[in-house]
Amino acid sequence: MNNQRKVSYAAVLFLVTLTASADNRPLLETEQIFADFLDAYGAVETIDSGLVAEIEGQNRAVWQRRRDETRSALTTRLRDAGLKPLTPADSRIVSNMQRTFDELTDPGASMAPDRKCQDATRPEKDVEVLQMTLYACFDEVGNALKFEDKRITRSGALQQLQQIEEPARRKALFMAMSPLWQAVNGQNEPTSPYRRMIAMAATAFRHKPSPIDEAAQALNTDTPRLEGWLLELLEAWRLANQGTKPIEPWDYRHEHARASRALDASIPRDALATLNQRFFTDLGADPQALGVLFDIDPRPGKAPIAYSDTVRIGRQLNGKWRPAISRVSANYDRGGLYTLNELTHETGHAVHYIAIRARPALFWTDSLFIEAFADVPSWSVFEPSWQQKYLGRSVPRADGLRELYSLVMLDVAWGLFELRMLRAPTTDPNVLWTEITSRYLGVVPHPELSWWAVRAQLGSNPGYMINYAVGAMLTAEMRKRTRESIGAMDAGNTEWYPWTSEHLLKFGAELDTAELLKQFLGRPPSATALVDEIASIGRDSKGH
């Protein structure tokens, strides 16, 4: 569920026309080199992911040479461009290229883990090295957990927690994740890998924007406002569940997963790709026809998280639009609703990238919008009309929504957790996580367990969870507006992709997210749409 590297910082509010730098020749040339760099970068990453050995008939050595040449040219050109006086539009072009370039040339940019988890316990001065090391723990330790003498991946374990009926086995599976908690947060001592990392990250974010600053910027607001939204959402969940007994952390996922347990038998591992293909085709976004590449089987050394990226960007070449190619990477060893929801999310990213029609400098928009949009199609699998059409049976709407929002609430809780850790990095993370989850999610306190440490982004990209947390609120807004405009989409609607491309996706970063959403919704976004949905499960669930 992740596109953690493509964050471009939308600094100016308005649409930049394609002719903005028509008379700035050197800048246009720089932009072409930048586009070549993005293509070479995507090709090298795709080959390194292990999916293919060649892209467009060229092997890794060729693409690496192109990447290195364009990188060195850009280093000079972007620096020189920044020294000259520029029009506001050109200055935005330069700052967007610079930001994306910095992200991608950062040593931690690659999705393939290339560090050793055991080094996380060593003193380390470079926060990015420590972050890459923690990321490696999610591959080495997280993808090699042991439960009942079998190997299990982290995401497989989280999913099985929804399934297992016996409370003692659930607890045993939950505790089987402790090697990962320990790799990330030791015994929760102040010098644990995570606690050292978050303190260093907070210091670094005094000189550069954090993902939280970037999310606030994308919505043209500030961090207190983001925090206020997260609290509104958590409070809505607390109210919807008022009067229920506190639940143990190993029971949380099971408690809310009635939909998965009823439907998983209809979603075997082998059916994932077909169901995904059918749904997106019915949305007018046939992944096969669009050329999306899927790489979803587990493989050692592969990125330990699911993500979607471009093999090449979409761009104008020889007077014609050459479309982007996207790919989806994941490690699926089982089927089920949970997995299908994630695959739908990643495919949402893939078709998003292909719909972008922006100039290269403004191809990548902010992570907040990217994550929020990917859930517009992925939330459909929790709706009875989707289930009826694609599985031939369905669960009551409240059961599906309860499961969906119980997972969304974990994202919101992590978003709040990171926001507060970065604000006060000497905070005890276990105590903070316990406070948030016991107060809002009704979970029994276990401050002795670092059970929050199951998302790779927490270690590799601190602050990134805000994009899922606030993103959920935007997803609810976009889904509502879409329904009102083109009708239901949960069981397919071929108008969806063309309409969505036209109104949301084609702009890339040419339209700032705050402005885009204001145009799309007719007002700035708020938490109301999601709060209302959450409240509805409280009402609908009575009588279960």
CB under 8 Å, gap of 24 or more: what pairs does 2-5 form? 2/305, 2/306, 2/307, 2/456, 2/457, 2/464, 3/307, 3/308, 3/309, 3/349, 3/367, 3/370, 3/371, 4/307, 4/367, 4/457, 4/460, 4/461, 4/464, 5/103, 5/104, 5/106, 5/109, 5/111
User: Which of 183/292 has CB closer to Zn ion?
Assistant: 292
Instruction: Name the segment binding Zn ion (CB under 5 A); options: 1-9, 290-298, 325-333, 404-412.
Output: 1-9
* DSSP letter assigned to residue 2: B
Q: How far is the CB of 366 from Zn ion (least distance, A)?
A: 13
Q: How far is the CB of 3 from Zn ion (least distance, A)?
A: 5
- Is there binding between residue 404 and Zn ion (CB under 5 A)? no
User: Which of 374/410 has CB closer to Zn ion?
Assistant: 374
User: Which of 36/371 has CB closer to Zn ion?
Assistant: 371
Total residues interacting with Zn ion, rule: CB under 5 A:
4
User: Which of 250/353 has CB closer to Zn ion?
Assistant: 353
Q: How far is the CB of 351 from Zn ion (least distance, A)?
A: 13
Q: How far is the CB of 1 from Zn ion (least distance, A)?
A: 4
User: Which of 193/304 has CB closer to Zn ion?
Assistant: 304
Q: How far is the CB of 196 from Zn ion (least distance, A)?
A: 28
| Window 46 to 85, contacts with Zn ion (CB under 5 A) | none
- 223 and 419 in contact (C-beta within 8 Å)? yes
- Alpha carbon distance 447, 186 (integer Å): 14
Tokens of 382: 């929790």
3-state helix, strand, coil in the chain (%, to 5): 60, 5, 35
Q: How far is the CB of 471 from Zn ion (least distance, A)?
A: 9
| Window 421 to 440, contacts with Zn ion (CB under 5 A) | none
- Alpha carbon distance 282, 491 (integer Å): 8
Closest residue to bound Zn ion by CB: 1
List b or e across 355-388, with b for residues whose CB sees 16 or more CB atoms inside 10 angstroms: bbbbbbbbbbbbbbbbbbbbbbbbbbbbbbebbe
Query: What distance, in Å, lies between the first and last C-alpha atoms of the chain?
Result: 32
Q: How far is the CB of 510 from Zn ion (least distance, A)?
A: 21
- Is there binding between residue 1 and Zn ion (CB under 5 A)? yes
| Window 341 to 400, contacts with Zn ion (CB under 5 A) | 371, 374
User: Which of 24/46 has CB closer to Zn ion?
Assistant: 46
- 295 and 327 in contact (C-beta within 8 Å)? yes
User: Which of 163/344 has CB closer to Zn ion?
Assistant: 344
**Alpha helix (H) residue ranges in 428-487:** 429-440, 456-460, 466-486
Q: How far is the CB of 2 from Zn ion (least distance, A)?
A: 5
- Is there binding between residue 453 and Zn ion (CB under 5 A)? no
Query: Which DSSP helix (H) or strand (E) runs through 541?
Result: helix 528-541
User: Which of 1/202 has CB closer to Zn ion?
Assistant: 1
Nearest to residue 397, comparing CAs of 503, 544, 504?
A: 544
448 exposed, middle or buried (CB, 10 Å; 0-12, 13-18, 19+)?
exposed
Q: How far is the CB of 345 from Zn ion (least distance, A)?
A: 6
User: Which of 133/475 has CB closer to Zn ion?
Assistant: 475
Binding site for Zn ion (CB under 5 A): 1-2, 371, 374
